[in-house]
Amino acid sequence: MRITDIIYKKRSGKALSPEEIEFFIRGYVKDEIPDYQISALLMAIWFQGMNKEETIALTHSMVRSGERIDLSDIPGIKADKHSTGGVSDTTTLIVAPVVAACGGKVAKISGRGLGHTGGTLDKLESIPGLSTGQTMERFKEIVSKCGCAVVGATADLVPADKKLYALRDVTVTIDNLSLIASSVMSKKIAAGCDVIVLDVKTGNGAFMKDPALAVELAQLMVEIGKSSGKKTSALITDMNQPLGNAVGNALEVEEAIRVLSGEEDGDLKKVSLALASRMLVSAGLHASVGEAETKLEEVLANGRALETFACMIEAQGGSPDVVENTKLLPQAEKKVTVTAENSGYIYEINAFDIGLSAMLLGAGRGKKEDTIDPAVGIWMKKRYAEEVEKGEELAVFHVNQEKNLDEAIYKFKKAITISGEKPQPRDLIYSSVE
């Protein structure tokens, strides 16, 4: 078997066999096939696509490229979630403890952010003392004790994805459904959970701008999960504005704590509970989504969800006192208020540009080696379709370095469209794939 023949076959629009896919994945991970040939193959895949069978075979080959985590010594059904990413997407910090408070087990291996704000690990690490670099044994101990834990991936988990993703990034082949689906699902399958719930974002702040493509991606990932014996489901959710009000790492932790303490409703809570309810149903802990949502509201009201989050924080080395006093989180030196320049309705919010504005403050990374400032970010005061008066607060910027402040404010203001016409209501959850 030769890689040149495989490249030619895919370039010609033909389907690759599982053996051919295994050959190029194994050869690339072992450095037996050079980058330039895999780059050519990725571009052929981007142009010609892959069918469902090829995509499933690619995912399983990627899983076999490294270690698979065995969670069988944790009692009960283990669950995981994945979001395709967006702005103020803090759902993991809510879903994990609420599901655990209802008797579930959430064993989540997560990642860091590139662009916008930080990823889930960056958000959690804004909590003083908390470490996401736990050993697998300690990870399993925390899940068994608290019902949930969130840690970073080991270097041996799906090494094929790390190599392929880096190459896709520099060859502009990121946005192919099969390559996206195999990247996401190989890591979820290798992480060892029984249940996978996916949150596929769509809108101006999401990777998938087109709702139809988001549905197609969700369906493909659910098929891959089922092919591995995983109970997999997905929600397609809106990302035409930041999901929550906080955009920034410590600020997003604070907002998650407000939701967990029952102090805050809104879109972030609604999506989080929708994901959590499906997780509980898939794990067999509740018979219906409605029944699960009732239980979730109960653990928010009685404080059990917040206690569970505190348990996880403490078990991972952090200060559990933050759940009672969010002032213990990193605080910015300065707060700058941004106000509306005219009256009307919030007609449009460009979530992507809001994320870039927060990144200019230091809340995200432009390059992998950039350092995140956990204290900085933006707290939104107005949301889509709300009425606003001239001079009224649109947001509060939490600032440490003023170097890029003017640019950040300019970008933020350009991201908000105020109109005399009230916009039509928009769905928060478009559909589901069960």
256 in the same domain as 172: yes
Determine whether 231 is an active site residue: no
Selected catalytic residue, list 65, 183, 233, 277: 183
Tell me: do 250 and 278 sit in the same domain.
Answer: yes
284 and 342 share a domain? Answer: no
Do residues 339 and 315 share a domain? Answer: no
Pick from 227, 314, 301, 265: which is nearest to 53 by CA? 227
Looking at the fold, whether 227 and 366 belong to one and the same domain comes out as no
Judged on CB neighbours under 10 Å (0-12, 13-18, 19+), 288 is: exposed
Question: Do 382 and 264 share a domain, yes or no?
Answer: no
Rounded Cα distance between 292 and 274, Å, is 9
Per-residue pLDDT of 145-168, as tens digits, reads 999 999 998 878 999 999 999 999
Torsion sign, CA atoms 207, 213, 215, 216: negative
Q: Which domain holds residue 385?
A: 331-419
Find where tokens 């569970």 sit.
308
Bridge partners for 78 per DSSP: 105
Q: Which of 80, 89, 161, 199 is catalytic?
A: 161
Query: What are the structure tokens assigned to 70, written together?
Result: 């065995």
Q: Is 168 a catalytic residue?
A: yes
- Residue 377 is predicted with a pLDDT of 97
CA dist 328 and 347 (Å) reads 36
Contact of 323 with 116, CB cutoff 8 Å = no
82 as an active site residue: the answer is yes
> Degrees (nearest 5) of the Cα angle 174, 175, 181?
90
Paired tokens of 133? 């670099």
Pair 268, 398 in one domain: no
Residues 292 and 342 placed together within one structural domain of the fold: no
Question: Rounded to the nearest 10 degrees, how much is the dihedral formed by the CA atoms of 143, 298, 434, 208?
Answer: -80
Last-in-domain residue among 294, 323, 352: 323
Answer yes or no: do 150 and 264 share one domain.
Answer: yes
Residue 345: count of CB within 10 angstroms of its CB: 18
Q: Which of 10, 60, 81, 82 is catalytic?
A: 82
Instruction: Decide if 12 is catalytic.
Output: no
Rounded to whole angstroms, how far apart are CA atoms 321 and 310? 8
Residues of the chain with pLDDT under 50: none
The answer to whether residue 431 sits within a structural domain is no
Extract the tokens encoding 237: 């959710």
Considering the domain architecture, whether residues 371 and 237 belong to the same structural domain is answered as no
Q: Is 68 among the domain residues?
A: no
**pLDDT on residue 154:** 82
Token reading at 24: 């190029």
Q: Are residues 374 and 257 in the same domain?
A: no
Nearest to 6 by CA among 72, 50, 56, 62: 50
CB 171 within 8 A of CB 41: no
Burial of 428 (0-12, 13-18, 19+ CB in 10 A): middle
What pLDDT sits at residue 195? 98
Give 170: exposed, middle or buried? Use CB within 10 Å, 0-12, 13-18, 19+: exposed
Q: What CATH number does the domain containing 29 carry? A: 1.20.970.10
Q: What is the pLDDT of residue 350?
A: 97
314 part of a folded domain? yes
288 and 338, same domain (yes or no): no
DSSP letter assigned to residue 18: H
User: In a 10 Å sphere around its CB, with 0-12 CB exposed, 13-18 middle and 19+ buried, how is residue 416 labelled?
Assistant: buried
